[in-house]
Structure 1
Amino acid sequence: MLAERVLPLSGIHNFRDYGGYDVEGGGKLRSGMLWRSAHHQDATPTDLGAVDALGIETIVDLRGDDERAAHPCKRSDGFSARVLFADGNTAGLAPHLQAAKGTIDNETARARMIDTYAGMPYRPVLVATLRLYLAALAEYDAPSLVHCVAGKDRTGFAVAIVHRLLGVHEDDLMHDYLLTNSAGKIEERIAQGGDVIRARYNADIPDDAIRTLMSVNPIFLEAALATVRRDHGDIATYAETVLNFTPEMRDAIVDKLVVY
């Protein structure tokens, strides 16, 4: 099942299909329509050709202006997809970098990741981009891709929101989130992330803390969802109140992405 979801690329980590799951009330999300990944700065020409072959027409970049400028995504010569993003900076920090903040041990890394996720539902750039993402899913009947830096934290939250709005069971929602820990070249991804974190803070951070920062954990996503439930009761109400999501938008997305 994992091999069927993951696109094995050399320079783009965690590239996978998050469709194909059963939804409440019957039906299943279409495969080949909903893609997620890390950034594409290190994409090879072969990678770019493989991405082009998917027919993706909309790319949603959850990163801020500063992150996109520092790590621009590579595109093929024939690239023609629309790229959606929200204006605004994020201090240049992906959640795993924000949580690091210098020399830390594994317990501190875990606690900071939980805290970072707990605030994720209200991060201004993320909220603004999620609004664009949901609107695009409602408008365009073609494959789309959502990504951030590592394709695990902000992207994981975005995918969880889409999954739940379309009726994917919470067990499957969490299963898809956790595939980050086994999708593609996970050990290479953790090692690369560790090099970046240690260099940024000039700190001797232990390997277990690096693994915590560069992986996903059910308690991380649950911290974000707990914030949503605390303030809004459920994801549907959060989406309506914060993300400007309407019943009409949901109907439009279901028509495009759910098969019976």
Structure 2
Amino acid sequence: MSDRVLNFEGIHNFRDYGGYDTPVGRLRTGLLWRSGQHGAATAADLASLADLRISTVIDLRGDSERALAPCLRHDGFDGLVLFAPGETAGIELAPHEEAGRGITTAAEARGAMTRLYAAMPYRPILVRSLTLYFEALATRDGASLLHCLAGKDRTGLAAALLHRLLGVHADDVMADYLLTNTAGDPARRIASAAASIRERYGPQMSDEAIVALMSVEADYLRTAFAAIDERHGGVEAYAAEVLGVDAARRQAIAARLVA
């Protein structure tokens, strides 16, 4: 799994989420990239990104997040950047930041994150962003980059939805999601967010609570899919009814991504 991770100086959690088996072939590598935001990308990072020839960027952040940390691009970047205007997290915060309200312990942090995941598949602006994501995968050539702020919650859900819709085995779906916890330098990634989280919510938050907010757990993703199953009976029905991803669109995506 670590072979799919690319290490950057100012970009966290950057990795290829292709390469998994599906019932009709294997997801191609080098086409599906995911990460955190690129606001702190270095010149070396941007040079490495240029080599990936990314033609489509799907930004799942909200307007306020984009304003605070505009993503940097290399000089030759001529790709399309897609996002839905508005706040994808509901209250101008990334999910892990939103979950931090009133939190002091790791158990409280995990509970808050679990509750957020139950609602995340139905947040209106995020739904619009996910619709743009799947439309791009079905219609645009070349490599794509999917990202939010930390590249773990909104991005993790989106990548897992794609994997599930293309028939990637459940174990691989979960392994890709959990790779956030070991990809790159997780300690540096967590430390980079700790100060801002404590500044927002107070110094009483424990180190363990910070780690819980900045990590992912299997129960988080299971909660999101349980909410989908309860309301729609499965991922395919959810995708068709909420995201406009019907059988024809799934086939179009598979034709571009599965070899």
TM (normalized to structure 1)?
Answer: 0.97
Q: Which runs of 5+ in 1 are unaligned?
A: none
Q: Contact 1:62–1:125 (CA<8 Å) still a contact in 2?
A: no
Contact 2:103 2:109 in 1 (8 A): no
Of 65, 72, 75, 2:73 maps to: 75
**Letter of the 1:156 counterpart:** G
1:196-250 Cα shifts (integer Å, max 9, x gaps): 1001123321111111000000001111111000001111100000001122211
Does the CA-based 8 Å contact 1:19-1:29 persist in structure 2? Answer: yes
Give the C-alpha shift of residue 92 in structure 1: 2.1
Aligned Cα root-mean-square deviation (Å): 1.0
On the 8 A contact 2:49/2:74 being kept in 1, the answer is: no
The amino acid across from 1:246 in the alignment is: D
> Shift in Å at residue 124 of structure 1?
1.3
Residue 166 of structure 1: how far off its partner (Å):
0.9
More displaced stretch, 99-108 vs 113-122: 99-108
Which position in structure 2 is the counterpart of 1:198? 198
Query: Is the 2:103–2:209 contact (alpha carbons within 8 Å) kept by the matching residues of 1?
Result: no
Note if 1:66 corresponds to 2:61: no
Q: Could you say which residue in structure 2 is the equivalent of 1:140? A: 140
- The separation in 2 between residues aligned to 1:225 and 1:252, in whole angstroms, is 23
Pairs within 5 Å for 1:193-232: 193-232=193-232
- Matching residue of 1:170: 170
Paired residue type of 1:59 = V
Aligned residues: 257
Which structure 2 residues correspond to residues 11-160 of structure 1 after superposition, within 5 A?
Answer: 11-24=10-23, 26-89=24-87, 90-160=90-160
User: Whole-Å Cα distance in 2 between the matches of residues 31 and 86 of structure 1?
Assistant: 27
Separation in 2 of the partners of 1:164 and 1:192? 31
1:141 Cα offset (Å) = 2.2
Shift of 1:103: 4.3
Q: TM-score, normalised by structure 2?
A: 0.97
Q: Which runs of 4+ in 1 moved over 4 A?
A: none
Q: Secondary structure at the match of 2:21?
A: coil
Instruction: Please tell me the residue identity of whatever aligns with 2:254.
Output: V
- 1:132 aligned partner, one-letter code: L
Deviation at 1:75, TM superposition (A): 1.1
Structure-2 residue corresponding to 1:10? 9
| 8 Å contact kept, 2:34–2:145 | yes
Equivalent residues of 1:138, 1:252 under 8 A apart? yes
Structure 2's unaligned 5+ residue stretches are none
Residue type matched to 2:18 in 1?
G
Identity between Structure 1 and Structure 2 (%): 53
> Structure 2: how far apart are the matches of 1:103 and 1:132?
33
Q: Is the 8 A contact 1:63 1:125 kept in 2?
A: no
The superposition leaves residues 26-83 of structure 1 with CA deviations (integer Å, 9 ceiling, x where unpaired) of 4100000100000000000110111111111000000111111111111112111100
2:50 and 2:235 mapped to 1: Cα distance?
A: 33
Match of 2:187 in 1: 187
